[in-house]
Structure 1
Amino acid sequence: MFAHWKDLLRTSYQRGAALNRASPKLVAGFQALSAGQNGHGALDAKSKELIALAVAVTTRCDSCIAVHAQAARRAGVTEPELADALGTAIALKAGAAYGYALRTLEAYEQFAEPA
Structure 2
Amino acid sequence: MLDWVAYKKELMARMGELGKLSPDTLAGYQVLSGAGAKTGHLDAKTRELIGLAVAVTTRCDGCITFHSKAALTQGATREEIAEALGVAIALNAGAALVYSARVMDAVEAHQKA
TM-score interval (norm. to shorter): over 0.9
Unaligned runs of at least 5 residues, structure 2: none
CA distance in 2, matches of 1:112, 1:78: 51
Sequence identity of aligned pairs in percent? 46
4+ runs deviating over 3 angstroms: none
State the shift of 1:69 in Å.
0.5
Q: Against the structure 1 CA distance between its residues 112 and 39, is the aligned structure 2 distance closer, same or farther, given a 3 Å change threshold?
A: farther
Q: TM-score under structure 1 normalisation? A: 0.93
Give the number of the structure whose residues are more often helix, by fraction.
2
Aligned residue identity for 1:58: T
Q: TM-score under structure 2 normalisation? A: 0.94
CA distance in 1, matches of 2:94, 2:10: 33
Aligned residue identity for 1:106: D
CA distance in 2, matches of 1:54, 1:39: 21
**Who is 1:55 aligned against?**
54
Unaligned runs of at least 5 residues, structure 1: none
State the shift of 1:5 in Å.
0.7
SS in 2 for 1:73: helix
State the shift of 1:30 in Å.
1.2
State the shift of 1:39 in Å.
4.8
**Who is 1:33 aligned against?**
32
